[in-house]
Structure 1
Amino acid sequence: MTGTTDPTATLVTPEVEVWWEQGGKLVDFALGNAYSVTSYLNLIISLTGWNPIEEAQKSLGGDWEGLLKAAKAVENLASFNTAYSDAIDEAMKNIDSSWRGNAATSADSYFSKLTAAIDGQVEPLSLISNTIASFAWEAFGIAQAIQALLLELGDLVIKWVLTQAAVESRIVV
């Protein structure tokens, strides 16, 4: 396989988007959660091992990280098909110079059809990968909207409770 990529090198375990692990969470906090009392309460509760906001996000918004991994896995499969087809073409070029006759013609015809079939799968796999990734980003948006809604509702409840407590303390005094 000189000159071609080893097809198996493209079949790697998909990882969640690097941006989320390397700063997306910090940006998410800075843009919306830093001023939310509910966010800090949720952080304290999450120290017990239960994160109610995250649970609601997953229940209502879905597993967007899992969807992104699935999209990447399908993308890797498309890359595998391309590399596999290229490896077959490269191998057939090396055989062409030394192999002649009906067997060589039959093998060439077979492998040409095989690589055409493999190449024919690349575009649909890429389309599937893009569709899954699009769905994953929509699920991420829903999860973020759920988080924002819950934090806003929580902050409004806290504000109402504090207002009621202030009103009650004025009546007693």
Structure 2
Amino acid sequence: MSPQAATRFADVAEPVSHLQPPSKPDEFKTPLDAFNEVSDLVSPTAGLSKIFDWALGEEVNPVELVKKYFAGDWEAYVKCGQVWRNLSAFCEGVSENIKAGNELLDGTWDGNAADAAFVYFDTLRRNLLDIQGSLAAMGAEYETAAYGVWSTAEVLGQIIAQLCDQALLALIKLAATSALGWTVIGAVAGLAAIALEIEQIADLWSQATAKINALQMAIDGIYSQLAALGGEVAAGLNGFPLPRASYDFPDA
């Protein structure tokens, strides 16, 4: 291979250009925002607590309870997905450069060493593509998790807002029976007056818990998939071909 031929080697892609820090995701809000707005409008007064006790069971504050499921930095999940995608693009670019160089090398170098070199670089290129696919899938899973949590929080925010509206309506109706006081007779009369609201609150809470359970199952599935993809990446890295010994090209 002549020096002139060697100078023809050039990258066809710029892999390093993909190694950029993640940016702030577009059209993504912190999931807790959906419940903080409800919390600002509805304070856990003694009256509302009593309504929730009757409808949902003792010491159940639906707003605070739901918020616990959505705590955390979910925006970081979106950014992590971007990082995996960037690494995927980097591996793809390196693979393209190796392929272009290997094809050029194959056309300018003959012999057993040339054949071995071609197999080595082609195997390396394929391994990089395998890792590239796993990294891209990991990025998609992280983003699916984050946006799934956000979209579920938006729906739940509306359900919890309706639930609190029903609780306030029940509290207003209950105030009409306040003349009876918090006696057994007063409690029975009050429950009769707000029976429909209590039933609707319980139904809305059932819808909310169903959404939470479905989300939890989806997130568990994503975590299982991420574990499998992480294993694929580790296997790919461990399977990188290593040259048996250094090669010194003889002087012409």
SS at match of 2:27: helix
Instruction: Select the residue among 5, 22, 35 that pairs with 2:13.
Output: 5
Distance 1:118 1:3 in 2: 16
Q: Does 1:138 align with 2:148?
A: yes
Question: Is 1:89 aligned to residue 99 of structure 2?
Answer: yes
More helix by share: 1
* Offset, 1:87: 0.9
Distance 2:122 2:169 in 1: 70
CA change 1:2–1:162 in 2 (3 A) is farther
Residue identity matched to 2:146: A
- What corresponds to 2:70 in structure 1? 61
**Kept in 2: contact 1:60–1:143 (CA 8 A):** no
Contact 1:4 1:86 in 2 (8 A): yes
Give the 3 Å change call, closer, same or farther, for CA 148–2 of structure 1 in structure 2: farther
Identity %: 21
The number of equivalent residue pairs is 148
Amino acid at match of 1:60: Y
Matches of 1:4 and 1:60 in 2, distance apart? 47
- 1:106 aligned onto 2:116: yes
TM-score (norm. length: structure 1): 0.61
Q: Could you tell me how far 1:12 is from its partner in structure 2?
A: 1.3
* Map of 1:71 onto structure 2: 81
Q: TM-score of the superposition, structure 2-length normalised?
A: 0.45
Query: SS of the counterpart of 2:133?
Result: helix
2:24 counterpart residue number = 16
Q: Unpaired runs of 5+ in structure 1? A: 43-52, 166-173
Partner Cα distance (2:135, 2:89) in 1:
9
Letter of the 2:69 partner, please give it: L
Higher relative contact order at CA 8 Å, sep ≥6: structure 1 or structure 2? 1
- Contact kept? 2:28, 2:150, Cα under 8 Å: no
From the superposition, tell whether residues 136 and 155 of structure 1 become closer, same or farther in structure 2 (CA, over 3 Å): same
Map of 1:121 onto structure 2? 131
Counterpart Cα distance in 1 of 2:129 and 2:17? 18
Once the two structures are TM-superposed, the CA of residue 65 in structure 1 deviates from its matched residue by 0.8
Residues 38 and 138 (structure 1), Cα distance of their counterparts in 2 relative to 1, 3 Å cut: closer
- The alpha carbon displacement at 1:78 in A equals 1.5
Alignment of 1:25-36 (within 5 A): none
